[in-house]
Amino acid sequence: MPPIIVHHSLGSYPVHVVPGLLHSLQDLVVQALPERKLVLITDDMVDLQYADWTGKGSLTFEPDLKLTFLAGEASKTRGTWATLTDRMLAAGFGRDSAIIALGGGVVGDLAGFVAATYLRGIPFVQVPTTLLAMLDASVGGKVGVDTPQGKNLIGAFHPPVLVAADPLTLLSLPERDYHGGMAEAVKHGLIADAEYFAWIEEHAQELAARDVPALTHLVRRSVEIKAEVVEGDEKEEGRRAILNVGHTIAHAIEQVSGYAVPHGEAVAIGMVAECRIAEVTVGLATGSANRVSALLTRLGLPTRLTHPLPVTGLLEAIQHDKKNRAGVIRLALPSAIGAMHTGDGRWTVATDSARIVAVLG
């Protein structure tokens, strides 16, 4: 199965999506990064799987150094970044080294930020092991950490040299993590491909059952969509904002809940809420939000908050969103299933806080 090629200003990188790919990871990495000292960065939960994969022979990758941190969004901080960086410095790794990020979105963002900043930048490889990371976080080159003021406010654009996604790793994901990744697939159909959205509706049962051929198609098509958007706006100055559908509200929910609401579930809730706003502001057909909600429900995702969160806290978090301009909240909103409102060329729409409060209520 040929890789998907993602182009960026400094060149391009392949995204391999192949069941059983972990068997050939060592060869892929050595080919992409010859004569490099390799640092594997993962979290403590994926590390347990790493030991199992190597023991069964499905993964033969042997790094020069392995670094782990506590799993979860709460670890995606400047403090963890400093600890990982200091350990590499103490071990004497130089500019002839490279980083392998093995895990979900938190691992990829954090390890990628270490790579972007270590000795002013070293190459890294993304090996996503969650659905959310395969579909979205591993592609596009955005890396970074969270702060008390919000998610991903400190970071860089640092594309990987290679993405290696093995859909078989998704078979061992906990149910909640697996279902959470589906929110990004639905988002990709919503923003760019009505036929893909309809395909997900048609194959929802197979996807829920983790059918490997269906999953492989899902990951590949989502990667293709994200690659097309990213290539046209590498530094997030225009159309790339459409990838943030649902995320303005989602990031606020994550932050205010203390990350008790996982990213995928927050995106599902945020996507439905922002579709409801789109129905009354940019002409999204009435009933579209319900259609999105029905699909997300079939895929095992919530579509509204099950426990109330303080509205003032949510609005304060939304005020710190990166898409805002001059203190005005701006949302990326769909104009139809498979199409986005251009927002007079900005790809975002000014939205008053009262509408947000209304849909969250």
Alpha carbon dihedral 330, 332, 333, 337, in 10-degree steps, equals 180
Task: Give the confidence band of 38 by pLDDT, cuts at 50, 70, 90.
Answer: very high
Number of structural domains, the chain?
Answer: 2
pLDDT at 278 over 70: yes
Predicted confidence (pLDDT) per residue in 111-159, tens digit: 999 999 999 999 999 999 999 999 988 998 899 999 988 888 899 999 9
**Which residue type is seen at 118?**
Y
In this prediction, residue 154 carries a pLDDT of 95
pLDDT at 280 over 70: yes
Mean pLDDT value of segment 173-194: 96
Q: Which two tokens stand for residue 339?
A: 């199409």
Residues 110 and 159 in one domain: yes
Task: Give the confidence band of 307 by pLDDT, cuts at 50, 70, 90.
Answer: confident
In this prediction, residue 326 carries a pLDDT of 65
pTM of the model: 0.93
Residues 139 and 214 in one domain: no
Residue 305 is part of which domain span? 175-360
Q: Which of 128, 116, 124 is nearest to 157 (CA)?
A: 116
Residues 195 and 100 in one domain: no
Long-range contact pairs involving 307-311 (C-beta distance under 8 Å, separation at least 24): 309/253, 309/256, 309/257, 310/256, 311/357, 311/360, 311/361
Residues 144 and 291 in one domain: no
Domain end position, chosen among 120, 143, 171: 171
Among all residues, which ones are annotated catalytic? 120, 142, 184, 226, 236, 240, 244, 247, 251, 263
Q: Which residues, in sequence order, are CB contacts of 166 under 8 Å at separation 6+? A: 18, 19, 20, 21, 22, 129
Residues 66 and 93 in one domain: yes
Task: Give the confidence band of 55 by pLDDT, cuts at 50, 70, 90.
Answer: confident
| Dihedral over Cα of 227, 20, 34, 156: its sign | positive
pLDDT at 107 over 90: yes
Which H or E run includes 181? helix 175-192
Q: Compute how many other C-beta atoms are within 10 angstroms of the C-beta atom of residue 82.
A: 12
Mean pLDDT value of segment 250-257: 94
Predicted confidence (pLDDT) per residue in 2-30, tens digit: 999 998 877 899 999 999 999 999 999 99
**Residue where the block lists tokens 């991903």:** 152
- What is the C-alpha separation between 224 and 239, in angstroms, rounded? 16
